Amino acid sequence: MTKKIFVLSVLFFVFINTGYCIMTVNLATDPFPPYINVDENKICTGGIYVEIVKKIFSQIKDTELVLKTLPWPRCLKAAEYGDVDGILMLFKTPKRQKFLHYSEPILKEEMLLWFSIAKYPKGIPWNSMSNLIKYHYVIKQDYSITPEFDAAYKNKALNVTIVRNHKIALKMVFNDRVDLVPINKGQGYNLVANNDYSGKIIPASKPLGSVSYYLAMSKKSSALKLIPKINEIVAQLNKDGFIENALKGKTLKEKVLKENTVKKK
C-alpha cells in the first residue's frame, strides 16, 4: 500500500512539474453566415470558416477551442481588454492592430455593393470611389469594408447610416431608405436568399475589392504564442487543398443562388 502511495505521489509530482495542462482558447465571434453559423440560442453551430479553424486547432496539441458569440462591437472590446483570447474572423485594420496580433490570411472574398433592382434597374456602374460618393450607404457597426472605402468614410466623404446587423441593412435597401450596402459575396448571397430578396436585391457587377480574413489574438492573451503554429498549419492546409475544398461548396451554392436571382429579375 505504501509503495502504491509513493508511486502515485511521484506521478503527481511529475505531472505538476512538467506543466502539462490544456490551454482553453476563447475566441469571440458574431453570426456571419455561411462562414459562421449561430442558432437562436447564440450557440455557434458551424460554418465554412468555423470548420477551417476547428481543423487548425485539432492540430495544436493540448488546446481546447471555445467560441463565444457576442455582438460585433463587444467582440472587439473584449479582445482589446483581454476578456477573450482573440477574435475568430475579421479584417486587418491599423486601429485593430494596436491590440491584436494577426495570423496569416485564412481566406479571401470579394466585397460587393448590394442594391435594389427596382430602384436601379440599370445597375450601379462605377470606375472609382468618386463615382460612388453620390450614394447613401448603410453599413454594420464597426464593420470594415475595404481600405479605400474606410478612408472615404473616415474623411466624411460618404453619406453613411450605421446599423446593428446586415439583415437590418438589407431591409433598409429593400424599403428604399438607403441606396447601397457593402457585404462580402458569400454572406450577401446567403442573406439575400434566406430573407426572400432573391431577384430584388443584387450586387453591382464590379466588386469594391478583394478582402482577406484572419484569426487574431489579443496582445493581452497568453494564446498569442500560438500564432506561429497557426500560421504553419494554415500554410499546410493551403498546400493540401483543404481550405480550397472547404470553399468549393460555398462557391457552388453561390452559383445556384446567382442563377436563381437572374431568373427572378
Q: Where are the domains of the chain?
A: 21-107+212-251, 109-210
Residue entry with cell 471555445: 66
Distance CA 70, CA 225 (A): 24
Compute the average pLDDT of residues 251-257. Answer: 50
**In this model, does residue 7 exceed pLDDT 50?**
no
**In this model, does residue 130 exceed pLDDT 70?**
yes
Q: What are the tens digits of pLDDT across the range 69-116?
A: 999 999 999 999 999 999 999 999 999 999 999 999 999 999 999 999
Cell digits of residue 62: 493540448
> Which CATH number does the domain 109-210 belong to among 3.50.50.60, 3.40.50.2300, 3.40.190.10, 3.30.460.10?
3.40.190.10
Q: Where are the beta strands (DSSP E) in 75-150?
A: 86-90, 100-102, 107-116, 136-140
Q: Confirm whether 21-107+212-251 and 109-210 share one CATH topology.
A: yes
Helix (H) or strand (E) holding 253: helix 242-264
Give the CA diameter of the chain: 87
pLDDT confidence band for 15 (50 / 70 / 90) = very low
Distance CA 134, CA 231 (A): 41
Distance CA 158, CA 36 (A): 29
- Assess contact for 27 and 86: CB atoms under 8 A: yes
Distance CA 163, CA 172 (A): 10
Overall fold of domain 21-107+212-251: D-Maltodextrin-Binding Protein; domain 2 (3.40.190)
pLDDT confidence band for 254 (50 / 70 / 90) = low
Q: pLDDT at position 126, please?
A: 97
Q: pLDDT at position 33, please?
A: 93
**In this model, does residue 149 exceed pLDDT 50?**
yes
Please, what is the end-to-end C-alpha distance for the chain in angstroms? 82
- Taken in order 143, 149, 150, 156, the sign of the CA dihedral is negative
